[in-house]
Amino acid sequence: MISSAVDPRELDRQRRRVFLALFAALAVALHTVEALLPSPAPWFRLGFANILTLVTLFLFGGRAAWAVALTRIGVGSLLLGNLFAPGFFLSLSGGVAATALMTGAKAVAGRHIGPVGVSALGAAGHASGQLLVAWLLLVRTPALWGLYPYFLLFSLGAGIANGIAADLLLDALRDHPAFAGRLEREGR
Amino acid sequence: MALKGAWRRTRPLDRLLVALLLILCGVLLVWLRPGPPGSRVVVEREGTVIFTAPLDVERTVELAGRLGPTRLAIRQGSVCILDSPCPRKICIGMGSITRTGELLACVPNGLLVRIDGGPGVQPSEPAYDLLSR
């Protein structure tokens, strides 16, 4: 593409579109790589892929965040070969609950909430959604809820770390021409 | 310092949210903590009890699941899964359980191992009497 011959607004749109595709692809890659990490139980995931959903939410808004989250879960489980297996439904329910909470929080709180708060909420949503579906589909026993506090605590720690990582990434992207002026700038 | 940098990256609402979630965790930890050491191990397969045994008798049993036999060891008041035909061996990694309300699950094999207070105490089951049975 010869940029000089193109309408600058069109160029901006294309740039942002490329970034969105890049975020979705990175989220899929992180989702897949993370599945290779050893974990004591299937629900102890670090959720690195959520960093990309967070960054998308802050740079593009709620709809794009949903697109990245659902693309990651769909394509990620295709790559891992567990599409429609029990693990897929756990992943899907956690992802949907997390994205709903994150986009909701951003819509309600707007500028007052940062990536760390959104990420912590998302992590709690992920933990709750996953355990709920695990209880509904896999093990119908109230004893499963005994795991909930540990699960929540762990995901909260991971969520805070991911939020900080997302904030670092936002800082790095903030001055890129594709996003210049799109982010609210507030004094920290 | 890294911690200070992390603190600077949060907004007041973020801190409030994290604090609230941590408090929720703490409350749940106290509320849902496992009960006293149990006395009986119960194994369920797809909702039906297929095996019960006292916890104080040391033994190793093989139980048939959906995929094949799962070996269970009862030793010094605790239960653990020694071997199971599931692909990822998560149930073995869950370690051993000793207290009422704790559980081990081998989801691929369809087995659920839990501990309860004994034959007399079953809070979640309705108490049948001679007439209703």
> A61-74 pLDDT, tens per residue?
999 999 999 999 99
Look at the pTM and tell me if it is higher than 0.90.
no
Kindly state the DSSP code that residue B42 receives in the 8-state scheme: E
A156-160, B9-13, B95-99 — which one is most confidently predicted on average?
A156-160
Q: Give which of A114, A126, A113, A188 is closest to A157, Cα–Cα.
A: A126
Report the percent of chain A where pLDDT is more than 70.
Answer: 87
Q: B21 near A155, Cβ under 8 Å?
A: no
Is B80 inside a domain boundary? yes
Exposed, middle or buried by CB within 10 Å (0-12, 13-18, 19+), for A135? middle
Q: Does A107 fall in a domain?
A: yes
Question: Can you state the percent helix, strand and coil of chain A, rounding each to 5?
Answer: 80, 0, 20
What does the angle CA B76 – CA B79 – CA B84 come to, to the nearest 5 degrees?
A: 140
Number of domains chain A contains? 1
Q: Is residue A70 part of a domain?
A: yes
The pLDDT of residue A134 is 85
Q: Which residues in chain B touch residue A145, judged by CB atoms under 8 angstroms apart?
A: 32
- A46 within some domain: yes
A→B interface, C-beta within 8 Å: 40-42, 86, 109, 112-117, 120-121, 124, 138-146, 148-150, 152-153, 156, 160, 163-164, 167-168, 188
Residue range A112-130, pLDDT digits in tens? 999 999 999 999 999 999 8
The pLDDT value given to residue B118: 65
For the cut 70, the answer to whether the pLDDT of residue A182 exceeds it is: no
- Structural domain boundaries enclosing B6: 2-31
Residue A182 is assigned to a structural domain of this protein:
no
Contacts 24+ apart (CB under 8 A), B27-32: B28/A148, B28/A149, B28/A152, B29/A149, B29/A150, B29/A153, B32/A145, B32/A146, B32/A148, B32/A149
Residue B46's region, left for phi above 0, alpha for psi from -120 to 50, else beta, is left
What was the pLDDT predicted at A186? 40
- Least Cα distance to A48 among A104, A99, A106, A123 occurs for A123
Q: Tell whether B46 and B105 lie within a shared domain.
A: yes
Which residues in chain B have their CB less than 8 angstroms from residue A82's CB? none
**b/e B28-51 (16+ beta carbons within 10 angstroms → b):** beeebebeeebbbbbbbbeeeeee
Tell if the CB–CB gap between A86 and B107 is shorter than 8 Å: yes
C-alpha distance from A14 to closest chain B C-alpha (Å): 30
Q: What was the pLDDT predicted at B96?
A: 87
Query: What is the band of A29 on the pLDDT scale with cuts at 50, 70, 90?
Result: very high
Worst-scoring range by mean pLDDT, A11-15, A16-20, A21-25? Answer: A11-15
My answer on whether B51 and B95 are in the same domain is yes
- Domain span including residue A63: 3-174
As a whole number, mean pLDDT of residues A26-41 equals: 84
**B81, β-bridge pairs:** B72
Position A187 scores a pLDDT of: 36
Note whether residue B121 is domain-resident. Answer: no
Residue A184 lies in a domain: no
Nearest chain B residue to A169 by CA distance is B9
Question: For residues B114 and B105, is the Cβ–Cβ distance under 8 A?
Answer: no
Residues B21 and B84 in one domain: no
Q: What is the CATH number of the domain that holds A103?
A: 1.10.1760.20
**A163 within 8 A of A116, measured Cβ to Cβ:** yes
Q: Do B12 and B49 belong together in one domain?
A: no
Picking from A117, A134, A109, the residue whose alpha carbon sits closest to that of residue A42 is A134
Q: Counting beta carbons within 10 angstroms of the beta carbon of residue A7, is it exposed (0 to 12), middle (13 to 18) or buried (19 or more)?
A: exposed
Percent of chain B with pLDDT over 90: 21
Q: Based on the structure, what is the number of domains in chain B?
A: 2
Q: Does A186 map to a domain?
A: no
DSSP designation for A111: G
B79 and B16 within one domain:
no
